[in-house]
Amino acid sequence: MGRGSKDKRDIYYRQAKEEGYRARSAFKLLQLDEEFDIFRNVERVVDLCAAPGSWSQVLSQKLRPTENDRVKIVAVDLQAMAPLPGVIQMQGDITKEATAQEIVQHFDGGYADLVVSDGAPDVTGLHDIDEYVQSQLILAALNISTHVLKRGGTFIAKIFRGRDVQLLYAQLETFFDVVTCSKPRSSRNSSIEAFVVCVGYNPPEGYTPHMSNPLLDHDYDKYENALVGVNRAIVPFLACGDLNCFDSDKTYPLADGAVLKAPTQTPISPPYAKAVRLKKEAAVGLGNVHVERATDSATENQ
C-alpha cells in the first residue's frame, strides 16, 4: 500500500503509530477504562487472544507505570508476539485446560482480577456467520475465565452485535452481576463490533469449571427462559464519547509537526503467511506453464 493511502487512514490509526502502540485497538481499551474505570485495584490481568499486543501495551502502561512486582500481566495467543516489558507471554490454546492451569501458576496459585479478550475470527463479510463464530470465541474465552477469574472480577470481550445475540447475553448474565454492551468512539461506526463489559463474576451455585465443554452449551433453560421474547435478556448499551470527538470513519489532517511513522510491530508469524506463500508458488507455477506453452508454440511454428 502506498504512502499516500496510509496518510488517509483514520485518526486513531495514525495516533497509535505516533504514540508507539502496535494497533489502533489500544484506544478502545483506553476509552473503556475512561467509561468504566476497569483498572481500579487491579493487580492480576489475563489478556486473551493478545497478538499483536496493543491491549497488553495499555495494561502494562496503566498498571505498571513503575516497576511493581505485585502486578502481573499474562498475555495468551496461538501466534507469537514480540516481547513487552512487564508482560508474561504464553503461546497456548484457550480451549485447553493446561493453558488455564499455566495462567494460575503465573499468579502463584491466585486468580485474576481482570480478563480481557480482543480476539476475533477472520471475517467473511457474511454477518450471520461472523456473529456465530465470534460468539463461540467469546464463550471459549468465558469458559477459560471461569478457571482463572476471581469472584467479583471483571471480564471484557469483543462482540459482534446481531439479531440473535440474546442467548449470549443470557449466558453472560448467568455468570456476572452486571453486563453492559459498549461501543467506544474509536470503534468504526460502520463496524458491527462492540464490547461486553461484565462486572462482578458470580457463577451459579454449584458450578464447577471444566474444559470438557468449552462452548458452555449445556442447559441454560431456567436462566434464559425466565423471560420471553426480546425481554429474555435486557442488556444496557453504552456508546462511549460524544459528537465532539474524532469520528473513526472520517479522515482528519495530520496534526502540525506530526511525522508519519512505520508500524511499531509488524506481525511475527501472521496467519496469512501460508496464503501468501501458496499464492507465490501458484504464480511461479503459472509462469512456468506459460513458458512451456510459448516454447511448444515456437517449436510448432518452426
Which CATH number characterizes residue 156's domain?
3.40.50.150
The terminus-to-terminus CA distance of the chain in angstroms comes to 45
38 with 166, same domain? yes
185 with 297, same domain? no
Binding site as annotated, residues for S-adenosyl-L-methionine: 53, 55, 77, 93, 118
Q: Report residue 146 CA to chain centroid gap.
A: 18
Q: Grade residue 87 by pLDDT with cuts at 50, 70 and 90.
A: very high
Per-residue confidence (pLDDT) for residue 3, from 0 to 100: 45
Question: Which residues have a Cβ under 8 Å from the Cβ of 281 and sit 6 or more positions away?
Answer: none
298 with 194, same domain? no
Residue 276 belongs to what domain range? Answer: 272-302
DSSP-assigned beta bridge partners for residue 249: none
In a domain, 252, yes or no: no
56 with 157, same domain? yes
43 with 133, same domain? yes
In a domain, 283, yes or no: yes
277 with 231, same domain? no
Q: Exposed, middle or buried by CB within 10 Å (0-12, 13-18, 19+), for 54?
A: buried
Q: How far apart are CA 155 and CA 113, in angstroms?
A: 9
The residue among 49, 94, 91, 44 whose CA lies nearest residue 68 is 44
Per-residue confidence (pLDDT) for residue 210, from 0 to 100: 78
Q: Grade residue 2 by pLDDT with cuts at 50, 70 and 90.
A: very low
C-alpha distances (whole Å) from 251 to each of 8, 10, 243, 247 are: 6, 5, 15, 8
Which tops the pLDDT comparison, 218 or 133? 133
235 with 278, same domain? no
Among 93-97, 99-103, 125-129, 235-239, the minimum mean pLDDT is found in 125-129
Active-site pick, 17, 72, 158, 183: 158
Quote the number of domains for the chain.
2
For the record, the C-alpha cell of 63 comes out as 498498571
Per-residue confidence (pLDDT) for residue 103, from 0 to 100: 92
Per-residue confidence (pLDDT) for residue 292, from 0 to 100: 56
83 with 132, same domain? yes
The residue among 201, 70, 205 whose CA lies nearest residue 144 is 201
The pTM for the full model equals 0.80
In a domain, 212, yes or no: yes
Percentage of residues in the chain with pLDDT exceeding 90? 34
In a domain, 85, yes or no: yes
Where a domain ends, among 239, 258, 287? 239
Q: How far apart are CA 131 and CA 166, in angstroms?
A: 12
In a domain, 294, yes or no: yes
Per-residue confidence (pLDDT) for residue 36, from 0 to 100: 94
Question: Which residues have a Cβ under 8 Å from the Cβ of 35 and sit 6 or more positions away?
Answer: 182, 184, 238, 240
Average of per-residue pLDDT across 239-259: 79
Per-residue confidence (pLDDT) for residue 1, from 0 to 100: 36
291 with 168, same domain? no
Among 65-74, 134-143, 180-189, 207-216, the minimum mean pLDDT is found in 207-216
- 222 assigned to active site: no
In a domain, 190, yes or no: yes
Among 185-194, 206-215, 221-230, 251-260, the minimum mean pLDDT is found in 221-230
Where a domain ends, among 239, 255, 286? 239
Average of per-residue pLDDT across 223-227: 53
Helix (H) or strand (E) holding 289: helix 273-301
123 with 221, same domain? yes
- pLDDT mean across residues, the chain: 82
Among 56-60, 277-281, 295-299, the minimum mean pLDDT is found in 295-299
Where a domain ends, among 197, 223, 239? 239
